[in-house]
Amino acid sequence: MEALSADCTTDVNNEFEWSSEDEIDDVEGLEYRDILGLIVGDIMRMVFRSDDGAYEFYRVFGKFYGFGIRKGDCGKDDDKSNVWRVRKEILEHNHNLTPAEMVHMIPNFRKMTESAKAQIHGMQAHGVPTSTILGYMAGQAGGYSFMGFNKKDAYNYVDQNPLEKFAASVYTRDLFADVKKEIEGVGVVNFMTKVRRSTTMVYTFEEYGEPGRHLVVLYDRVPSNLVCPCYFWNKKGYSCRYMFFVMKYEHLTKIPDRLVLKRLRQDAKGLEHYVEEGIDDGSEMSILL
């Protein structure tokens, strides 16, 4: 594996190649706790069932040694059963690696923790400017370089899609990951027409991957409500990409209350509450048009 380029970042696909194998030594799923003890021979014998497995190993390897990595284009385009193996490893470096205490600032190692996001939300709710919040957090961490993310990361988070920000503040962390996929899925929605019918806006879409098959979403501003015939909301309990498309088109900054199930919220009460109050999922879902 060639360790560095000028910007302390290397391309995974330059260091790995794929080949057909009948039997392999599968190392995916291992925890690379002893990665610093690996020698060239150990690494050259490693094989991976997918480029994702190779990427994860190289990512951890890079973090230990102080260089970032990126995933480049792959020339593999057939359906054969293949594995990935290390093609070369060059241990000499033409400049210094990133010091261990600064590795977390390399782009693909930077990350805003949930506690950092919660702190930003909480202080913003009290009218504290973002710059002041970051200064305070830097003071807590012992300096900007020890926050685990930089100012740009923070401002990108603050300025993100308002619907995404609202979803992050309402849904549980695990569920938000799924909701975010639907919000991002708006990019593949094929919009066709928008027509007003009395107080209802009728949006027509063409289903992605199925040309000629139309899907109609209804939106009422008062009361703020959406109905989609894909029944995704009825099955999952949160909005689909078509509903999020309409929300963005209508410039909504919050998901309509009717579409946020109480049991899926961060502030949801325990099961005992629903039993005592006689509330069930069916009655909650039945409020839709």
Same structural domain, 52 and 125: no
Residues 151 and 251 in one domain: no
What confidence score (pLDDT) does residue 283 get? Answer: 46
Q: What is the pLDDT of residue 261?
A: 92
Kindly state whether residues 154 and 67 are assigned to the same domain: no
Domain count, the chain: 3
User: What are the backbone angles phi and psi of residue 26, rounded to the nearest 5°?
Assistant: -80, 120
pLDDT of residue 128: 82
Burial status of residue 203 (CB atoms within 10 A of its CB: 0-12, 13-18, 19 or more): buried
Which domain, by its residues, includes 136?
110-159
Residue 4 placed within a domain: no
Q: Are residues 64 and 132 in the same domain?
A: no
Does residue 129 or residue 102 have the better pLDDT?
A: 129
Residue 281 sits in the same domain as residue 204: yes
**Dihedral of the alpha carbons of 17, 18, 23, 26, in degrees to the nearest 10:** 60
Tell me the per-residue pLDDT of 21-65, one tens digit each, with 9 for 90 and over.
434 444 444 444 556 667 777 777 777 777 777 777 777 777 666
Between the ranges 119-123, 171-175, 275-279, where is the mean pLDDT highest?
Answer: 171-175
In this structure, the answer to whether residues 83 and 138 fall within a common structural domain is: no
Question: What is the average pLDDT value for the chain, to the nearest integer?
Answer: 74
- Region 71-78 average pLDDT: 53
Q: Inform me whether the pLDDT recorded for 194 exceeds 90.
A: yes
Say yes or no to pLDDT of 247 above 50. Answer: yes
Q: Identify whether residues 193 and 265 lie together within a single domain.
A: yes
Shared-domain flag, residues 177 and 278: yes
Do 226 and 123 have their domain in common?
Answer: no
Residue 207 belongs to a domain: yes
CB–CB of 154/112 below 8 Å?
Answer: yes
pLDDT tier at 69 (50, 70, 90 boundaries)?
low
User: Is position 261 within any domain?
Assistant: yes
- Give the position of tokens 């504290």: 128
pLDDT at site 26: 46
